[in-house]
Amino acid sequence: MKAGVKLCEGPGHFEVKEIDTPTLGEKDVLIRVKVSGVCGVDVLIYDWAIGKTFPAKLPLVLGHECSGMIESLGKEVKGLKIGDRVTVESMIGCGNCYYCRQGLTNLCCLQWEHVGITFNGSFAQYLKAPMSIVHRLPENVSFESGAFVEPLSIVVNMFDRIKFALGSTMVIIGPGTLGLLVIQAARSYGASQIIVLGLEKDEKRLLKAKELGADLTLVADREDPVARVLELTHGIGSDVVVESGGTPESFNKAIQMASGQGQVVILGYSNYGETAPVRLARQEISVFGVRAYRTRHFRQALQWLESNKVVTEAIISHRLDLDHAEKGIHLMRDKEASKVCLIP
Ligand SMILES: [Zn+2]
Ligand SMILES: [Zn+2]
C-alpha cells in the first residue's frame, strides 16, 4: 500500500512510498482510510521538534485524525463489521498505571500508545487499529467530518476541564483547526463575546473565524492585542483565554488578557519557556492544561457533529491526494491552511 513515512530523525526525511499492508492481530481492525487530516503533531514529528515526551518510533507512517471504512477484521473483533464507516481515537492508555486505573487514560504515565506516533498512522491507504479505539460514524457524519472527531474531542475535553458560565467572554489565540472548533463550541455554550487573535499571515484563517462565529478578530502584529482586549472587556480582561498560538509570547499575552479569576487554557503542545507566575498568583488565574481526551469526550464529539452543533466544511482549506502529503505538512506548518485533508 501507499503511505506517507517519516523515515529517520532530523527535519524532513519524509517520503510517500510503497510499504506492506498491515497484517492483523486477533483484536485488530483494518481500515481503508478515506480522509486523514494533517495535525500540528504531524508537523512536529516531521520537523523533528518533538522532544523526549513524544516517543515516536521511526520509520513511522504519520497521521491520526482520520475516517474510513472497515476492510477486514481480526477473529476476535466484536461489534464491528466489514463496510462499517468508522473513525478512531488516537491515544491508548496502558490500562495499568495510576491514572489509567482511575479512567484518566489521557494522563497515562507509562507505556501509552498513539496512532501515528508509537505505531503507524493514517497517512496511508490502510490503517491497522485495535478494536478498542474504533468508533462507528453516525450516518449523517461524512468521512470528512469524521476526520475531525479526534481534534474536536480535545475541545470537548477542554470544556470539561474549565468552568464556562453562560455569557462568558472568550479570547482564542491562534485561528488554527482547534481554534476554529473552539469558536463554534463557545457559541453553543452561550459565550457573550468571542475574540480571535491571529497574525497578519493568518488573514484567511481569521476570515474563517468570523464566518464560524467570532465576534471580532484582532491582528497581533498590527495592534496591541492586550490593550485591545482590555478595552473590549471594559478593562476587566476575558473570562477565558484559550492559548493555541504555541509560543512563549502568546502564552504571556494570554495571561495578560485574562480577567481576575480568569482561566487560561493551553491547547496543544509547545515549548513555552519563561512565563509570568507572579500574575498567575496575584490574579488567582487558573491555567488549565488539556491533554488529548477520554472516550466519553470522543463520544460527545461524535454527537456534536451528528447534531451539527459543530461544522467542519468551512475549516477545510485544502484537499490533497496522499502523494502530496509533504506539501500538506508544509501548508499546515506555514499556517497557510486551516486544515489540510489528505485523501489516500
Ligand atoms: Zn491531532
Ligand atoms: Zn496508563
CATH 3.40.50.720 in the chain, residue ranges: 153-290
pTM: 0.91
* Residue with grid cell 507566575, as numbered in its chain: 277
Cα of 40 to ligand 1 centre, how many Å? 6
Cα of 51 to ligand 2 centre, how many Å? 20
Cα of 148 to ligand 2 centre, how many Å? 25
Cα of 230 to ligand 2 centre, how many Å? 42
Looking at the CA of 38, name the nearest ligand: 1
CATH T-level assignment (fold) for domain 153-290: Rossmann fold (3.40.50)
Cα of 260 to ligand 1 centre, how many Å? 32
What pLDDT is recorded for position 83? Answer: 98
CB neighbour class for 319 (10 Å; exposed up to 12, middle 13-18, buried from 19): middle
Spatial separation of the C-alpha atoms in residues 293 and 152, rounded to whole Å: 9
Neighbours of ion ligand 2 (CB under 5 A): 93-94, 97, 100, 108, 110
Per-residue pLDDT of the chain (344 residues; tens, 9 = 90+): 999 999 999 999 999 999 999 999 999 999 999 999 999 889 989 999 876 667 888 999 999 999 999 999 999 999 999 999 999 999 999 999 999 999 999 888 889 999 999 999 999 999 999 999 999 999 999 999 999 999 999 999 999 989 999 999 999 999 999 999 999 999 999 999 999 999 999 999 999 999 999 999 999 999 999 999 999 999 999 999 999 877 778 888 999 999 988 999 988 665 544 455 555 555 556 777 677 899 999 999 999 999 999 999 999 999 999 999 999 999 999 888 999 999 99
Looking at the CA of 110, name the nearest ligand: 2
Cα of 263 to ligand 2 centre, how many Å? 28
Strand boundaries in the chain, DSSP class E: 2-6, 14-18, 28-37, 60-61, 65-73, 85-88, 91-92, 113-114, 126-130, 134-136, 169-173, 193-198, 216-219, 238-243, 258-267, 286-290, 318-321, 340-343
Spatial separation of the C-alpha atoms in residues 242 and 290, rounded to whole Å: 11
Looking at the CA of 149, name the nearest ligand: 1
Residue 191: which residues within 8 A CB-CB, separation 6 or more?
164, 167, 168, 169, 170
Residues present in the chain in total = 344
Spatial separation of the C-alpha atoms in residues 139 and 265, rounded to whole Å: 33
**CA distances to 3, 25, 107, 127, 156 from 28, in Å:** 19, 5, 24, 10, 27
Cα of 118 to ligand 2 centre, how many Å? 14
Spatial separation of the C-alpha atoms in residues 228 and 220, rounded to whole Å: 10
Cα of 233 to ligand 1 centre, how many Å? 32
Neighbours of ion ligand 1 (CB under 5 A): 39, 65
CATH 3.90.180.10 in the chain, residue ranges: 2-148+312-343
Cα of 53 to ligand 1 centre, how many Å? 16
Cα of 131 to ligand 2 centre, how many Å? 18
Cα of 92 to ligand 2 centre, how many Å? 8
* Residue with grid cell 486477533, as numbered in its chain: 26
For helices 177-188 and 149-161, what crossing angle results, to 10°?
A: 50
**CA distances to 78, 151, 204, 284 from 172, in Å:** 41, 16, 16, 20
Residue 160: which residues within 8 A CB-CB, separation 6 or more?
297
Looking at the CA of 90, name the nearest ligand: 1
Cα of 182 to ligand 1 centre, how many Å? 14
* Residue with grid cell 506548518, as numbered in its chain: 333
Spatial separation of the C-alpha atoms in residues 223 and 225, rounded to whole Å: 6
What pLDDT is recorded for position 283? Answer: 57
Q: In CATH, what number does 2-148+312-343 get? A: 3.90.180.10
Cα of 56 to ligand 2 centre, how many Å? 17
Q: What share of the chain is helix, strand, coil (3-state, %, to 5)?
A: 30, 25, 40
Spatial separation of the C-alpha atoms in residues 325 and 331, rounded to whole Å: 10
